């Protein structure tokens, strides 16, 4: 399937009658809509953005999306959005997450992390049981309102001395917040300066050294509106760590449906079903506080069988491509003239490569020695 090079030159002609819009490319919504007016309707229109939970940069409000759906239905266009949120009729999700035009890939970041590990010859960090200095590590980049509340509540629970905590405020250009701070005065916090770049960014798929000297990960996921698992969750899983997620309701317990094990042998997950964000955040940190009563080494040993299971399950998902939608698999194949789709295709199929098999064999041999 050939395609229109949307992200490089919008003046190019349609090729094979299909249009691909990349949420992380250089095309813009107004350009897309203008092109639709000037050209005949495409045979297919595919919005590609598994890195995001919804295509907010293209359909920036419900009215625009409804108008676009009317257009594609009237012109018999094959339309799909590849996004990252969980699609489950039995789960609480919002906005676009259960839309019939969506073909979501909820484990996309698992594929990314494994691909990164293969390319960089990275094996799981694990935890050095003889050098555990802190209860947790918590990485926080952008100051979204729910993340502000997360870190503010963490401070209110007197947990700052118990963890390695980063607070970078990426993309935050002024002192105006969408959150009314109640306990903590925001200031930049960082650790492991050899891991972080001077611009505050970091390799999203590679953990800090503090993963080896802390017992668990406290995760503030990318939204509280719908279930969406990013590198924030899959990096700890890959590096054999226990983790507790503050995200949308059921962010922790839903993972059991995907074959992962949660850590209910040390924590009560009742907080996970609380719908109100503030109440859920407060209940979350009450449970985290209880873990301070367990010696770090003992805690890690109690959790070890489950983290091993989760690591194995993550590799199974990547190898079997269990959550890769058929349309997503199809549009990434045989597009050797398009860099974006070639890269996506390799990520989706990394487990089929010789590099992956060599990487896995080397890791397994090192464990069995």
In this predicted structure, what is the pLDDT of residue 94? 60
188 in Cβ contact with 168 (< 8 Å): yes
- The band of 161, judged by pLDDT with boundaries at 50, 70 and 90, is very high
Q: Looking at residues 148-165, what average pLDDT do you find?
A: 97
**pLDDT reported for residue 203:** 74
Question: Is it true that domain 111-314 has CATH number 3.40.1000?
Answer: no
pLDDT of residue 25: 66
CA pair distance 100, 156, nearest whole angstrom:
42
Question: Does 156 score more than 80 pLDDT?
Answer: yes
Q: Among positive and negative, which fits the CA dihedral 166, 170, 175, 177?
A: negative
Write down the mean pLDDT value for the chain: 86
Share of the chain above pLDDT 90, in %: 59
pLDDT score for 12 = 42
The answer to whether residue 160 scores a pLDDT higher than 80 is yes
Residues 6+ apart with CB under 8 A from 120: 206
Task: Give the pLDDT of residue 11.
Answer: 37
10 Å Cβ neighbour count for 215? 26
Digit-coded pLDDT (tens) for 176-234 = 678 999 999 998 888 876 655 555 556 789 999 999 999 999 999 999 988 999 999 99
- Whether 245 and 256 have beta carbons less than 8 Å apart is answered as no
**260, 310 Cβ separation under 8 angstroms:** yes
173: confidence class by pLDDT, cuts 50, 70, 90: low
For the purposes of burial, counting CB atoms within 10 Å of the CB of 213, is it exposed (0-12), middle (13-18) or buried (19 or more)? Answer: middle
Q: For residues 239-265, give the mean pLDDT.
A: 96
pLDDT of residue 368: 53
d(CA 166, CA 208): 11
Contact assessment for residue 247 and residue 222, using Cβ atoms and an 8 Å cutoff? yes
Sheet strand arrangement including 78-82 = 18-22, 44-48, 78-82
Predicted confidence (pLDDT) per residue in 54-96, tens digit? 887 777 777 888 888 888 899 899 999 999 999 876 666 666 6
CB 153 within 8 A of CB 179: no
pLDDT at 263 over 70: yes
Confidence class of residue 358 from pLDDT cuts 50, 70 and 90? very high
Whether the predicted pLDDT of 5 surpasses 60: no
The span from the CA of 349 to the CA of 324, in Å, is: 10
Residues in the chain: 369
- Give pLDDT, residue 10: 43
Which pLDDT does position 178 carry in this prediction? 83
pTM of the model: 0.90
Phi, psi of 236 (to 5 degrees): -60, -40
What pLDDT shows up at residue 334?
A: 66
Which DSSP helix (H) or strand (E) runs through 219? Answer: strand 214-220
Tell me what pLDDT residue 354 has: 96
34 has pLDDT over 50? yes
Q: What is the spatial distance between Cα 21 and Cα 210, in angstroms, rounded to a whole number?
A: 38
pLDDT above 70: residue 291 = yes
Q: Which residue has the tokens 């492991």?
A: 192
Best CA proximity match to 265, nearest among 213, 218, 304, 314: 304
pLDDT of residue 363: 82
| Distance from C-alpha of 274 to C-alpha of 239, rounded to nearest angstrom | 29
């Amino acid at each position: 399937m050939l395609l229109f090079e949307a992200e490089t030159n919008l003046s190019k002609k349609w090729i094979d009658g299909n249009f691909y819009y990349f949420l992380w490319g250089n095309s813009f919504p107004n350009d897309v809509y203008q092109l639709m007016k000037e050209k005949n309707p495409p045979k297919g229109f595919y919005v590609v953005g598994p890195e995001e939970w919804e295509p907010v940069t293209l359909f920036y409000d419900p009215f625009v999306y409804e108008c676009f759906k009317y257009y594609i239905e009237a012109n018999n266009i094959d339309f799909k959005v590849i996004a990252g949120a969980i699609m489950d009729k039995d789960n609480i999700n919002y906005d676009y997450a259960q839309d019939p035009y969506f073909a979501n890939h909820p484990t996309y970041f698992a594929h990314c992390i494994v691909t990164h590990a293969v390319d960089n010859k990275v094996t799981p960090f694990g935890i050095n049981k003889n050098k555990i200095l802190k209860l947790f590590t918590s990485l926080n980049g952008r100051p979204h309102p729910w993340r502000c509340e997360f870190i503010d509540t963490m401070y209110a629970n007197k947990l700052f001395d118990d963890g390695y905590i980063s607070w970078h405020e990426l993309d935050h250009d002024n002192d105006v917040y969408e959150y009314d701070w109640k306990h903590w005065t925001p200031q930049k916090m960082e650790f492991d300066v050899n891991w972080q770049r001077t611009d505050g960014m970091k390799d999203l798929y590679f953990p800090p050294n503090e993963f080896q000297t802390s017992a668990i990960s406290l995760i503030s996921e990318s939204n509280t509106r719908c279930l969406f698992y990013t590198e924030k969750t899959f990096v700890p899983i890959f590096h054999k760590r226990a983790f507790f997620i503050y995200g949308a309701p059921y962010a922790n317990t839903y993972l059991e449906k995907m074959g992962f094990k949660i850590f209910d042998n040390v924590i009560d997950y009742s907080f996970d079903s609380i719908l109100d964000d503030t109440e859920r955040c407060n209940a979350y940190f009450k449970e985290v506080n209880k873990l301070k009563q367990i010696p770090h080494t003992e805690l890690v040993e109690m959790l070890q069988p489950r983290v091993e299971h989760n690591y194995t399950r993550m590799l199974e998902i990547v190898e079997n491509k269990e959550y890769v939608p058929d349309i997503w698999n199809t549009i990434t194949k045989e597009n050797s003239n398009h860099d974006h789709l070639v890269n996506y295709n390799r990520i989706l199929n990394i487990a089929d490569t010789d590099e992956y098999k060599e990487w896995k064999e080397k890791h397994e041999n090192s464990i069995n020695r």
